[in-house]
Structure 1
């Protein structure tokens, strides 16, 4: 009887030990997998956090570049607008010729008045200076001087237009629209004054002078509006 009891106790003890071993092993595996998953989660979280940090820093950098670029573009755009207006309006508001009556016989002095002009204008001036009729020479030189001014005005409008379109991504829509309206008015005035230069009689018969005054008024209004919008944009951020 005692022998049987010993056997039962022995089996129970062995089972308890086995159970304890299984329990320990299972808990160890669960703990290992839990720690592994926790570590993986922490690693993934760290990677995601770093990725978001880099993205945030990149966004801040890009916005800073955008903001700085915009604040450089807006004043430059306004300056080019003023320059184009001045160059285009000079013929409409009256101008003083270089006084060719005093210098027309000195070819070098005359050519200095046409420095930086297009090659075609310089060639035409040289041809004019070969004329022996003083009145004709002076009249043609004055007309040639108008062509020089119109050429400079055309270049200033082109410079303004190119700058506007090349930097459109950095310009707010309301400023772009205003600047675009100004560009159209400048082109109209330039065309109007070109017609006057090419055929003064035809110009006055078609009342182009009145039209020029209307366009000039529109340009002045555009300039004031553009100035106001640019000031607001610069002070906004």
Structure 2
């Protein structure tokens, strides 16, 4: 059961081509959330999205990339300079993998290509909310410290879900932190995609393969870049998963 304090911000564009469809999505989503005792706020352009995010605390942002005034990517980039942890689900009509990768690299947690099925949208929202709720309720864990041999210690603090390489904050998103914590806690062992899906709260929702495989690859690439000076390597074990080891 999702916490009763959940608030979701839905930001979608009401243009002439999609108005009826988007209104239906908004109505269906609001009904679903309100049936659970939660609340939804809607915005239809990027400036209103920024205003809403500055005025209220939200537990999830559903963000359309094709927004007027300020596009979704600009909103996402601005958000991640102020809040690294708010889960973000992107809605996009852009089918190129480069566009989807750019959204994930900018800090999105998941994406859904338009047109989409409302049931899939609900399932992805539930997964992101469940993941956030589970993370918030987890008991404290021990801080992990790893020396990769370069003199810069990698430290992961579960109480704040932050990661540091020496004195530098790695500025990890929720998925980055969960993936890095999983790899570090199983240093020298192969971590398969199902284990990653479990760490992300996606297990059981059919998200371990297909589109999610591309998502995993993006996050592995991002972690590799952030750990370049650490002496820690993330190897791809073809057909099996990934392994972190010291260089």
Report the structure number with the largest CA radius of gyration: 1
- Relative to its length, the structure with more strand (as a share) is 2
Flag whether TM exceeds 0.5 (same fold): no
TM-score grouping bracket, smaller chain normalisation: under 0.3
TM, length-normalised to structure 1 = 0.23
- Relative to its length, the structure with more helix (as a share) is 1
TM, length-normalised to structure 2 = 0.22
